[in-house]
Chain A
Amino acid sequence: MEPFRYLEHTADVKFRACGHSLEELFGNAALAMFNAMTDTSKVECLGSWSLEMEAESLDTLLYEWLSELLYLSDVELALFSVFEVKLEKSDDGWRLDARIKGEEIDLDRHVFETEVKAVTLHQFEVWNEDDLWTAQVILDV
Chain B
Amino acid sequence: MLNRVDDYIYEVPLGHQEGMRVPGRIFISKSLIEKIEEGTIDQVANVATLPGIVNYSMAMPDVHLGYGFPIGGVAAFREDEGVISPGGVGFDINCGVRLLRTELKADQVAPMIANLVEDLFHDVPSGVGAKGRLRVSDYELDQVFTRGAEWAVEAGFGVEEDLEHCEENGHLVGANPKQVSLKARKRGRPQLGTLGSGNHFLEIQKVGEIFDADLAKKFGLFEGQITVMIHCGSRGAGHQICTDHLKVLNKAVLKYNIDLPDKQLACAPLGTPEADNYFGAMVSAANYAWANRQIISHWTREVFQRYFGEVKMDLVYDVAHNVAKIEEHDVDGSKERLYVHRKGATRAFGPGRSEIPNAYRDVGQPVMIPGSMGTSSYVLCGSEGAMNLTFGSACHGAGRIMSRTQAKKTYTGTEVKDALAGRGIKVMATHPKMLAEEAPEVYKSSSEVVNVVHNLGIARKVARLIPLGVSKG
**Chain A residues in the interface with B (C-beta under 8 A):** 6, 8-13, 37, 60, 63-64, 67, 70-71, 74-75, 77, 105, 107, 110-115, 117-124, 138, 140-141
Contact = CB atoms under 8 A, between A and B. Distances in A.
A126 B250 CA distance: 17
A65 B246 CA distance: 14
A118 B184 CA distance: 13
Contacts of B434: 112-114
Interface in B188-216: 196-198
Given A8-B405, A37-B128, A140-B90, A115 B197 contact: yes
B366 to A, nearest CB: 26
A107 B67 CA distance: 30
B129 to A, nearest CB: 4
B187 A71 contact: yes
Main secondary structure of the interface of B (DSSP, over half): mixed
Given A112-B127, A120-B68, A8 B403 contact: yes
A18 to B, nearest CB: 19
A60 to B, nearest CB: 8
B323 interface: no
Interface string B203-242: 0000000000000000000000000000000001001101
B37 interface: yes
Interface in B22-79: 37, 64-68, 71
A78 to B, nearest CB: 9
Contacts of B37: 10
B413 to A, nearest CB: 9
Given A74-B187, A112-B434, A138 B91 contact: no
A123 B246 CA distance: 15
Contact of B236 (A10, A74, A124, A140): A74
Contact of B437 (A70, A110, A111, A114): A114
B65 A115 contact: no
B67 A122 contact: yes
B67 A12 contact: yes
A37 B128 CA distance: 9
22 contacts: A9-B65, A11-B64, A11-B71, A12-B65, A64-B247, A71-B240, A74-B187, A75-B183, A75-B187, A77-B129, A107-B129, A110-B129, A112-B431, A114-B198, A114-B404, A118-B91, A121-B264, A122-B67, A138-B67, A140-B91, A141-B198, A141-B404
A29 B405 CA distance: 18
Contacts of A107: 127, 129, 430
Contacts of A121: 67, 246, 250, 262-264, 266
B115 interface: no
Interface in B128-143: 128-129, 131
Contacts of B246: 121
B262 A122 contact: yes
B406 interface: yes
Contacts of A9: 65, 403
A10 to B, nearest CB: 5
B263 A122 contact: yes
B104 interface: no
A122 B129 contact: no
A112 B264 contact: no
Contacts of B250: 60, 121
B430 A6 contact: no
B150 to A, nearest CB: 26
Given A121-B250, A122-B264, A11 B243 contact: no
Contacts of A119: 243
B433 A113 contact: yes
Contacts of A70: 239
B400 interface: yes
Contact of A117 (B91, B401, B408): B91
A10 B243 contact: no
B167 interface: no
A138 B242 CA distance: 15
